[in-house]
Amino acid sequence: MTYPESVRLLYSLGNEVKTAKLGLDRIQYLLDALGAPHRGGRFVHVAGTNGKGSTCAMIESGLRAAGLRTGLYTSPHLVEPAERIRIGGVPVSPEQFAGACQTVHQACERLLAAGVLECHPTYFETVTAMAFVLFRELRVDVAVLEVGLGGRLDATNVVAPDLAVITPIDFDHEAFLGKSLEAIAAEKAGILKPGSMALFAPQRPEVDPVLREHAAAAGITPTLASEWEIRDLELDALGNRFTAAGRVCVRVECSLAGEHQVVNALTAVAALELLGVPAAAIERGIRAARWPGRLERVAERPDIFLDGAHNPAGARALAAYVRRFHAGRCVWLVFGAMRDKAAAEMGGILAPVASRVILTAPAQARAVRPQTLLELFDHPRALAAPDLAAALTLIEEAAPEDVIFVTGSLFLVGEARARLVQ
């Protein structure tokens, strides 16, 4: 199987959100058929609504700075599916990705022929199994796993992690996870298991009691990132610096932009300290951490930022960032969204901080039509562009001192990154 063939196979399984089938039976059968590559390894398991990808990236970078051979599994990808599985901070090669896909697919075919499975595992389940196969084959010391959707029934929730981390919880994927923050928190808390350590980022008031209740049921006394003190905080448009004071003092220099990344960096520091990483390695790791497509500046004069603010909480974080660091500038907003997202709510949050708005659509069947977005965005200078190429043509009118944000769907951000980053 070649890499293009593996990608076509995965896409033939359907969109990973629209065709999601929450539950652990299929992934358990599949992993058992593969020799249980998820057992016996060391894992850090990270759930949450926003910030879990950034937090995973910083934890993995800190573990690598400590001399460990690391695996990292995240989703979705921005440009290529192979980005989802990283070894030592680098995406696996196309050949490694394709080889793992063939191994997993052949196991699926055997299970289907034997009547063990009624249907092929989903896109996400298949790639999750591929990650476990590659982590075993490539002999990682510890792997950091980002939950795909929820937690309790997510395909990654087959591990017995050394540490379970829960980043800030907010509204997203309500159709799958529940209509209340309490219900969503209960799903996220499903990654808490007896015998594992647990770390909670600062949470909204409705969420904290739910997480504590589930931790108590698992016999866990969680560590709270809020137990660490933030001292000497400095923020600018391209990152943050502060001292995290807990059982040790760690000087944090984080190149991930936005005030919300302070909480993510603090959570990563607390996680790494729990895992026994020395302070010096924590500092080196977080300084080196990168997370593309999240307030990532990819051009200057005019500045162009890519930010996958794909839900209301992400939109609020982006709006706060614009107000804090780009007040007084002409702000261009290029926005696209998927139909399962709260596009109208995001529009209400982002439109007030924008001087010009271009509403477009990623090349996805589930994308909201630009004309529909135009009806949802209450902005006097909003235009619709049929696709990203047309939107990028329109922003050529921007002056060198302007600032442009391509945001909303991560699919749109991925398309933009493929065009703008060489």
The tokens of 138 are what?
């490539």
Return the H-helix or E-strand segment holding 45.
Answer: strand 43-47
Task: Name all domains of the chain by residue range, CATH numbers in brackets.
Answer: 3-226 (3.40.1190.10), 296-420 (3.90.190.20)
What span, in angstroms and rounded, lies between the C-alpha atoms of 411 and 139? Answer: 31
pLDDT higher than threshold 90 for residue 54:
yes
Q: Which residues pair with 330 in a beta bridge?
A: none
Of 160 and 176, more confident: 160
In percent, the amount of the chain with pLDDT more than 90 equals 91
- Provide the pLDDT confidence category of residue 174 given band limits of 50, 70 and 90: low
pLDDT higher than threshold 90 for residue 341:
no
DSSP 253-265: EE-S-STHHHHHH
What span, in angstroms and rounded, lies between the C-alpha atoms of 294 and 256? Answer: 8
Q: Which amino acid is at 13?
A: L
> What is the pLDDT, as a whole number, of residue 22?
75
State the pTM of this model: 0.94
77 burial class (0-12, 13-18, 19+ CB within 10 angstroms)? middle
What span, in angstroms and rounded, lies between the C-alpha atoms of 115 and 84? Answer: 30
> What is the pLDDT, as a whole number, of residue 179?
73
pLDDT higher than threshold 60 for residue 230:
yes
> Are residues 85 and 92 in contact, defined by beta-carbon separation less than 8 angstroms?
yes
pLDDT digits (tens, 9 = 90+) for 321-334: 999 999 999 999 99
- Those residues whose C-beta lies under 8 Å from the C-beta of residue 232, and which sit 6 or more positions away, are 241, 242, 243
> What is the pLDDT, as a whole number, of residue 299?
97
> Are residues 199 and 59 in contact, defined by beta-carbon separation less than 8 angstroms?
no
Helix (H, G, I), strand (E, B) or coil at 248: coil
What span, in angstroms and rounded, lies between the C-alpha atoms of 56 and 144? Answer: 6
Please state, rounded to an integer, the average pLDDT across all residues of the chain. Answer: 95
- Provide the pLDDT confidence category of residue 171 given band limits of 50, 70 and 90: confident
278 burial class (0-12, 13-18, 19+ CB within 10 angstroms)? middle
pLDDT digits (tens, 9 = 90+) for 241-290: 999 999 999 999 999 999 999 999 999 999 999 999 999 999 999 999 99
- Provide the pLDDT confidence category of residue 320 given band limits of 50, 70 and 90: very high
> Are residues 164 and 45 in contact, defined by beta-carbon separation less than 8 angstroms?
yes
pLDDT digits (tens, 9 = 90+) for 23-35: 899 999 999 999 9
What span, in angstroms and rounded, lies between the C-alpha atoms of 35 and 202? Answer: 38
Q: Which amino acid is at 95?
A: E
Closest-CA residue to 153 (of 47, 301, 239, 230): 47
Task: Render the burial of 358-376: b for 16+ CB within 10 Å, e for the rest.
Answer: bbbbbeeebbbebebbeeb
Only one residue has tokens 């209400």, namely 348
pLDDT higher than threshold 90 for residue 177:
no
pLDDT higher than threshold 80 for residue 77:
yes
Closest-CA residue to 271 (of 199, 203, 208): 199
- Provide the pLDDT confidence category of residue 18 given band limits of 50, 70 and 90: low
